[in-house]
Amino acid sequence: MTNATRTWGGTTLADRRADRRRRLVEAGIELLGGGDSTAVTVRAVCRTARLTERYFYESFADRDALMLAVYEHVAESARQAILDAVTRVADTDPEEQARAAVRAFVELLIDDPRKGTVLLLVPITEPALNKRGAELLPTFTAMIRDRLPDGYDDVHRELTATSLIGALTYLFISYLDGSLDVPRERLIEHAVGMLVAAASPPDATS
């Protein structure tokens, strides 16, 4: 049996367990960030984290549990980054808030492209995440749909929100893998422009 209070090497068991878990998740990000989810084997994760398989199953029931934890960890950091950026400019107009959100997201991807890959590519790639994991994009879609003006019917709002998320996702993916070679500021401005245009109420157009 284990003893959570007993100290070992200056730390408690719970601390060491948490540290090992953190290293495993970080190793998962590192490997999953390469874009090839088949490279994320239990052995590779353990080797990257400099741990043995025994400690893998100390923190995760199976490989899928790690996948889920990795995705959730990255998604949570993205949510936090966006939320922080928006609340930091909560007293400005909606366009400025959209700009702050997009900028925070893009800078997160640039600071750590692995996270961008995990966030945008892996939910589609990995069967373990197809069902339970890929809830970030639908969440964003619903957020945008609910912020669209009332001038349109529900179908139009759903179509517009879905289109926006698809456009933003593909923009970021292309920017990440280098196939979209544009200045960062132009990318941000374009993304913000689409959001703002969609948020403005309909006037003369159909």
Partner DNA sequence: TCCAACTGAAAACGATCGTTGTCACTGTAC
Partner DNA sequence: GTACAGTGACAACGATCGTTTTCAGTTGGA
Q: Which residue has the tokens 């068991």?
A: 13
Q: Of these partners, DNA, a copy of itself, none, which one is at the site of residue 131 (CB under 5 to 8 Å by kind)?
A: none
182 binds a copy of itself (CB under 8 A): yes
Applying CB under 8 A, the site for a copy of itself has a residue count of 37
Contact 169, 124 (CB under 8 A): no
* Residue placing its CB nearer to DNA in the complex, 7 or 80: 7
Residue 24, number of CB atoms within 10 A of its CB: 24
143 binds a copy of itself (CB under 8 A): no
DSSP assignments along 165-189, one per residue: HHHHHHHHHHHHTTSS---HHHHHH
Minimum CB separation of residue 82 from a copy of itself in Å reads 19
Give the binding site for DNA (CB under 7 A). 1-4, 6-10, 13, 16, 40-44, 50-57, 62-63
Contact 187, 175 (CB under 8 A): yes
Query: In the structure encoding, which two tokens stand for residue 178, read together?
Result: 């280098």
Distance CA 25, CA 49 (A): 9
Distance CA 20, CA 101 (A): 32
Contacting a copy of itself (CB under 8 A), which of 13, 16, 20, 35? 35
Minimum CB separation of residue 55 from a copy of itself in Å reads 27
* Residue span binding a copy of itself (CB under 8 A) among the ranges 8-16, 87-95, 143-151, 185-193: 185-193
* Residue placing its CB nearer to DNA in the complex, 34 or 166: 34
Distance CA 88, CA 205 (A): 35
167 binds a copy of itself (CB under 8 A): yes
Q: What part of residues 60-89 is at the interface with a copy of itself (CB under 8 A)?
A: none
201 binds a copy of itself (CB under 8 A): no
